[in-house]
Structures are given as structure tokens and as C-alpha cells.
Structure 1
Amino acid sequence: MALASTAASHVDVVAATVRDSMNAATSIVAASWRRSMIYYGLDPAKPSAPMRLEAPQLALSRERNGKLLEVARPCLDRLFQTAGRAGCCVALTDADGMILETSATEGDRKTFSEWGLVEGAVWNEASEGTNGIGTCLAEKRPVIIFQNQHFRAKNIAMSCMGAPIHDASGELIAVLDVSNCRNDLSQSFAQVLGAVVTESARTVEADLFRASHPGARIIMAEGHGPGGVSLLAVDEDNLVVGASRLARRNLGLTAEALSLLPSLSEVLEGAEGQRGLGQAEKAEIRRALVRRKGNVTAAAKDLGISRATMYRRMSQYRLTAEAAGY
């Protein structure tokens, strides 16, 4: 009876908060409740379990996210070694909030399954309203949804800590989530867990970036911290071939700028790694070919040399139009 009363009270609080639109401007929880009820048309009193994909759909999604799962697994295992002992479930989702993989102790697995924290379950805001996974995706930043901050009354015994994971080009591709269903969890401990989850997500991002640029030299740029990893991938000619999301933001790098293979000295003022004249010339020829999409004549004109000289230099440095990706 007490549980029913608590649930009914929560529904009333959600409805009253949503009615006052000013709340959404000052609280991410209130903003999420408003999205859940008004934009998605969800009912906080609805008791049903989350939507769950069939096995073939789950298998297909796991296959599409194979590299993510492979790279993230060591970090997930380390996180579970810490959080699992505190009665937590560790989950990794795709960009749509569908759980790809979970870890829980044998004693807790049944409980989390009853809550719907299982592989194939969809936890985006459109399906479940405010929660650690869905609201993290909506806000595009780490979130802690503590107990009655959840939208649905059936979820208010849970606390969820979610952090986004971005790929090597800066796209949000996953959420790392730790959830706890114990009623003795304090908000201060939830904050500690949230920090651990965020740092783990940043580690996965860095590992994904390195895996996406095999053979490249990885340089840490300014701005590395809680907001992400600021990394640059540099090739043998000191040309920047990749930049993490935070590096792009901090250094003003666009996808178009990166496609032209800027030199490290252009991107990172005072960067180490002085090159000889031969290396510099090779890099400039490569960049000219990239800019002109492999058109040797146009690239030679940009460099102020004849077409014949261009071909001699390309031969000298063993470069072809195909080396520029065309």
C-alpha cells in the first residue's frame, strides 16, 4: 500500500512540475519530464516493462557495434569489478539507447532483469522517459538520475549514472551506464559512481580513437579533462589525420579542415617534431593532391610547379593520386 501511495505521489509531482513550464529552464530533470510527457506522450503511471528487441535484431545491432564492444570490453570489465560489488549493473548501449551488453553479479542479475536492464531493452526517453541512458542521449552529457528523478513511477527505486561515448569523428555512438536498485544508496555515493562512469567512458573514447588510427602517432592536445579526451592522430609526415571530439572543439577543427590534412604545426602552435625539407615537401604534395581530389595538374598549379615536375616529385616520394584517397 505504501509503495502504491509513493507511486501515486510521484505521478502527481511529475504532472505538477510539467505544468509549470518555467521549471524546464532551470532543471535538466524537469526539462526531461516535460519532453517525456508532452513531446513523447508518455504516462508516468504506466507500469509496463521497457520495449525489448527480438534476438535477431539484437544480434544485428551487436554486429554493427562490434568494434565498440571489442574496444570497450576491458574497460567495462574493470568498471564492473568496482561497481558490481556495490550492487550495480553495468550496461553499454547503442546510439538509440538499446542495451548491447550488461554485467551484474549472479545474485543481482534476476533483480535487474525484472527492472528491464537486460540486453535488447530500449531505454531512450521516447520509450521510458527520464532515465540515466535516455536522458544522457538527449542531453549529450553525463547525467545522474537519482531514484524519484526518473519519469516513470515504476523506476523510482533505481539510480542511474550515464555518460556518453563518442567515436573517433566525434559522433555520439553509445552510453555507458551504471544502475543501482538498492534503497540505501546515497546521493553522495551516486555522485562518486557518476564520476567513475564518466572517466570510464572517456577511457573508451580514447581507446576507440587509437584503434581508429593504427600506426599514427597520438598526441594529447590542450583541454583534456572531464569533458572528454583531446587527442590528435598524426602520420609520418606530421600531418593531422584525425582529431577527437574535444580536440575538434578546442582547436576549431572541422571535418572539412581535417580532410585537407593540415600540418601539426598549423593545428597545434609550438608542436614538437621538426621535419626536414624533404618531409615538408612530401607533406605539401600530399595535401595538394587531397585538396584537388587526386587531380595532378590542378595540384601542380596550386604548388606553382609544372605538371612534369609534379610527377617527378611524386615519383621521388613514392606518391600517387591514390595515396590521397582517390
Structure 2
Amino acid sequence: MEASYILSPCLFNRFRAHLDQQNADIMCTDLFGITFLRSTSKTKKVNNMASRRRSSDFEKKASVKENGHFPAESPGSRRLFIMRHGERCDFAFGRSWVSKCFDDKGNYTQTDLNLPATVIQRENHLDFLKDSPLTEVGKFQARATGDALGREGVNIQHVYSSPSLRCVQTAQNVIDGMGNDAKICIEPSAFEWYGWYKSSMPVWLKPSHLAQSGFSINVDHKPFVGLKDLHLDETVGEYYDRCHRLAEHILKTHDDDGDILIVAHAGSLDTFTRRLLGKSARNSQDMHNILSSFTYCCLCCVAQDPVTSKWSLVKPPIPPLHDFNWKVLQ
């Protein structure tokens, strides 16, 4: 069963303004569905409900500490933010969105107001099947998050992104929402678990192509791990190790007091922070069970004590767009 969310008048009006840029006049409900996949068949709904029941164990554990003590940020604490991307086209409309929107020559037509008004040009439009863009709602989610961060005075100086288009678009909209001039560093090792792509990996757009298409990309950035060094047969434990190594590399690269943002995938909130918090990697079953807890554009924050250098999970400076319990990461 889909969860429903009621938008505040302020947030609803901002979303309407976002769509008005395309002369849209629609009412949106179920704007921030937390299902990992949109299900249309009865079987998929049953599977989704089962997944939620499994993940509820993590939610219950988190809620036990709802009134417990969490370390407060010390003055001068360095912060690392991890964020999931916004709503993606293939999960909102199914994989058939590509065949419905593109003709044989790759010409694109927007067939739904929540589909992108325009799409980035790429050599083969079929590459969108494994490298989906954001929906218009997804762009709004990301920009609203950036806007909220800006209002709270968060000054993110360093931005990293998975090479997935949906993540790059999310990072860009967050930057735009903050009014920030940060450049996005593309990191292939920030991608989600390779085990889901054993047949073939997505074809990602090159940083230079993204920059030429208007994204704020640091084209001089040298990835920590190159595409040729990706190991597609990694285990879940190796996935956690990969993300932890990247997190350590990023933190060592920027040893000042500037805040850092990594925009990646649902599991990334756990895989990038787990070992920083002194915890061991989850096993495969536990990782899969917790995935449905991570809603679109959910955000977590870890802060480093300036005296002890210890990292702690802290309350994000902004509320979520919908019901995400950041304490599930404990």
C-alpha cells in the first residue's frame, strides 16, 4: 500500500510555481512516495509490503532512541552530508518511459508533465534505460532541499556525486537552491552496489559533456577510482569498504572546516557513514532490508569533533521532505 503525504500550503505553492515554469497547471498527490519501486501489479504490491515489514525492524530500533541522547555538534565541527537522489523517471513511470518518449531517431517528446521538459543529449537515447534522469518532481525535491540548506546557513564547499545522471542532476539542483557556486566532482566509486549490475553497467555521461550541457562540474577533478578499476563482482561487504575508502579520501583531501556533500543512492547514507561511526558493515540481508527506509532526497549528517576527531551521527539541520527517520542509521 502506498503511503500518502500532505504538502503544507507553502511547499505546495512552491511546487506549483516550479511547474508553472512549463505552463503546467496540475494538482499533485502522492508527491513523495517512499516505495523504492512504483508497483502496479498486485504481486509487486505484496512484495513491497513485505519489504516494508522487514525494514520496519530498523525503524523500530531507531524509534527507541527517539528521546535518547545524540551528540550535539561542537562549535567548529566538520560536517559530512550524504544525500539520496530525487525521484527518477524509470521508478515513477517504469522502463517503458523511454520507448514512449523517444522515436527511432532519438527525438524526445514530453508525454507527461512530470517527465523532463527536455533531456540532455547523448549518443544513444537507450542509455537512459540504465541511467535515468530525474522527474520534474525529483528536480523540485532537490532544489527545495538546497533552498532549505541555504536558509539554515549551511555552507557546503565541496560537492561529490555518483556518475549517475539522477545524482548529478540532484547535486546541481541542491547547489542552485543554496545559491552556491560549488563545482561537482564526479566519483565512479560513489555508485551503488555493483552486484545489481552484473550483466552490464550503465553508460555514464562524461564530466566534460555534463559541463558543456550546463552542469557545474569540476572538469579537472581526478576520480579516486577510475572506471577501468571497478570490480563488478564485489560483495556487499566490499561495497561498504569501497564507500568508506572514498569517504576517507574525500575527508583527507579537504581537511579544512568546510562542509562536504556526497549525492549518491539509497544505500549510500549507510555505506558512507557506517564505518566512520565505528560500526561494522551490514550483511547483505540487513542492507537490503534497510533500503526502503531511504526516501527520495533523504539526508543524513555526521559531524567530526574538533578535539577528539571522532565522527558522530547528528540531526540534519533541515527537516526531510517526507517521513525519513535519520536515526535508522544507528
TM-score (norm 1): 0.28
Bigger Cα Rg:
1
Q: Which has the higher helix share?
A: 1
